Structure 1
Amino acid sequence: MTIRVLIADDEALLRMAFGTVLEAQPDMAPVGEAADGGQAVRLARRLRPDIVLMDVRMPGTDGIEATRQVVQVSPRSRVLILTTFDLDAYAFAGLSAGASGFLLKNARPEELLGAIRNVATGDAVVSPRITRRLLDELRPHIPDDGGTGRDERLSRLSAREREVLVHVGRGLSNTEIAATLYLAEATVKSHLGRILRKLELRDRIQAVIFAYESRLIAPA
C-alpha cells in the first residue's frame, strides 16, 4: 500500500524537504502541499490523503482548527501534527481536535517516516506521558453513571481484546502491554487493529476515549 501524504506548512523549504524525504520511500507519495490551514482543508477534501502532516502555526486558519476541519471533511485522513514547540498545550489541543499524532519538527527523518507508517496503520504517535495527561483532562468530563452507560459495541470484543483495550485506556504503550500480558508486541498490535475495526474507531486516541466513555474503565 502506498501511503498518500498531504504536507501543510507555511514554510516552502520545509514542504520541499518533507516532500523529498517522502518521495525517497517506496511506500509513500506526497500528493499535495498547503501553505496554510484553509488550503490544507480544501486539499484534504479533494485529495482524501491517508496522512496530513500539519504544522501548528500557520497564517489564517492555524493547524489545530485545520485538523478539526480535516477530520470532518475527510474522515479517513489521519493528521500528524508537527511543531517546533514541545508544549503539552499543542498536543492536547491537537488530539482533542482529532489528530492521531504529535511530533517535533526536529525529529530525525526515520522517526518521521516511522510515525507516518504507525499512524497510517491506525496507531497513534503520542507518548504514554501525553496519553496519561490527556486522560487527566478527560476524567472530569465523564459522568459517573454507576456503570449503566456501557456501550453495546463492547460485546463485539473478545475477552483478550477487552483486556488489551483496558491497558490502552490506561495509557500503556504496546511494549508495556506486551510485557504486562506476556504477549509479543506484534500480537498486541494485531489485537489493537482488530479492536479499532470492531469498534469503528480511527486510532489509539479514540480507543482511549472510548474505554472511558463506555465505562470499561471508571474515572479515578
Structure 2
Amino acid sequence: MAAYWKQLDTRFPQVAAVFDDLMAEALAELTREGLDAYLEAGRVIGKLGRGVEPMLAFMEEWPSTAKAVGEAALPAVMALVQRLQKSPNGSAITPFLETLAPVARRLHSQEQLQRYLDITLDLKARTTGSIHGHHTTFPSPGLPDFLAQAPNLLNQLTLAGLKNWVEYGIRNYRTHPERQKDYFSLQSADARAVLQRERHGTLLVDVERKLDLYLRGLWQDGDQLVPFST
C-alpha cells in the first residue's frame, strides 16, 4: 500500500484514513493499467486547489463507475473535470464526481455516459454568465443542482428525455438565476411537470437483466442489449 500511497501523492488526512478501504475496492475492480490511471487521476484532482471533497468523491466513486461503463471512460470524465476547473464552475466538480457512479450504473455503457457528459457540458456552456457574450464571469446557477439530481432524473428518464428536460430549463430560465436553481433542483412546479411529461414507458435498465436471461435461456443469445434513440 505504501507504493500506491506514494503514487497518489497527497497529504489529506481524510484520504489517508480511508485509503486502505479505497484501494481494496480499486484492486478488486480495476486492471493494473486502470489502477495506475485511477491513482494518477486522483492525484490530479487532489491538486486542483478545491480541498479534499472532490478527491474523496473520485476515489470513492470511480471503481464502481469503471465496473459499470469501463475504464476507458476515464479520459472523458477527467476532460469534463478540467473544463469545469478552467471555468467559473469549479464548485460543480464535487457534485459531478459524487453522483458519477449511480449515473454510470443507470447508463451501463461508455457511449451513454458520453451523452450524459455532453448534456452536462451544454448546460454549463449555455448558463454560465458572461459580459457582452464574451468573458465568462459567474458560474451556472443550475449546474450543481442538476448534477446532484442526475441519478434521480435518470431513474425516471431516458437520455433523450433528460436532454429535453434540460433544454426546457435552459430555454426558459437561462437569464433567471433563482428560477433556474429551482428548476434544476426539482423544486419548481415546472420542473416536475416537464419531468412527468418526458417519462415514457419502461427504461431498459430496469428490465435488462430479465431480457438478458430470456435471450440466453430461449435462444442462447449472449449479445448485449444497448438502448438507442429513435
Could you say whether these structures have the same fold, taking a TM-score greater than 0.5 normalized by the shorter chain as the test?
Answer: no
Higher-helix-fraction structure: 2
Higher-strand-fraction structure: 1
State the TM-score, normalizing by the size of structure 1. 0.30
